[in-house]
Structure 1
Amino acid sequence: MQAQGKCPDCNGIGANPLIMHEFAYIDRYDCPGCNGSGLFSDWAKVNGRHS
């Protein structure tokens, strides 16, 4: 993922897949690994790794 510049947690999408809540709301939330950017460089900063 580093060579592609994509966050390994969300595959560069910036958000995790849609999820179903108990009240049938469909929601999408920012990836915690890259703070929603989808970039490997941001993922590396958040996870304490050098890009």
Structure 2
Amino acid sequence: MTQPLWLFNTRLTIIADATTTGGQYDPIEGYIPPGTQTPPHRHTRYSEQL
């Protein structure tokens, strides 16, 4: 596995990437502290599910 990444006060760990899932999905584990919000953003190439 990769080292955790920190983005917007959130710890993200990539569980698998496109090379291991045939480009179908990228499972990511995240820790989001209470009160943290993701800034407004848009995905134009894929859908996001939480």
Work out whether the TM-score is over 0.5: no
Greater helix content = 1
Q: Normalising by the residue count of structure 2, what TM-score does the alignment of the two structures yield?
A: 0.24
Q: Normalising by the residue count of structure 1, what TM-score does the alignment of the two structures yield?
A: 0.24
The answer to which structure, 1 or 2, has the higher relative contact order (CA under 8 A, 6+ apart) is: 1
